[in-house]
Structure 1
Amino acid sequence: MPSAPPPDWVLARRRALGDRIRLERAARGLSQERLAELAAMDRQAINRIEQGHQAALVDNLFRIAWALDVSLARLVE
């Protein structure tokens, strides 16, 4: 049985997280491809997270934060 879609407030937070990741990435002059390489992830996964289309696993958020040299708290504040 499929689960119910997330509520609007969850989707809004997901988009805000993606926006912060994109801003941090841009501030460092990194492409999605380069961030994906540094985080040992797939570029499409980075894109989906930045667009808010995919819920990010906490392990992937740790990888992204490490690759951007920021705290996880900074990304999710």
Structure 2
Amino acid sequence: MPPERVRARRLQIADQLRAARLHANLTQETVAIRAGISLDTYNRIEQGHSSPMLDTLIKVAHAIGCPLQTFVRG
């Protein structure tokens, strides 16, 4: 189990992903397909239950049409 500050930041990133996806009017399925990952994997990331590898986060950002820093900026 990661430290609480890490879990809290993961949840913030998940919230930012969800907000960006909804702003782009995309479904989770569409993002997953565009990113080349499973819907289950994307769902776990967006719910904050999974910590994605950097490569995956880059793919998700591209699939949504946002720069990576949108999600990882402090």
TM-score (norm 1): 0.90
- Give the root-mean-square deviation of aligned CA atoms: 0.7
SS of corresponding position for 1:55: coil
SS of corresponding position for 1:30: coil
Match of 1:24 among 4, 20, 33: 20
Q: 2-side partners of 1:27 and 1:51: how far apart?
A: 17
Residue 13 (structure 1) aligned with residue 9 (structure 2): yes
Structure 2 gap segments, 5+ residues each: none
Q: 2-side partners of 1:28 and 1:20: how far apart?
A: 12
1:51-66 equivalences in 2 (<5 Å): 51-66=47-62
Q: 2-side partners of 1:26 and 1:69: how far apart?
A: 12
The alignment covers a number of residue pairs equal to 73
TM-score (norm 2): 0.94
Q: Which runs of 4+ in 1 moved over 6 A?
A: none
| One-letter code aligned to 1:20 | Q
Match of 1:42 among 27, 32, 38: 38
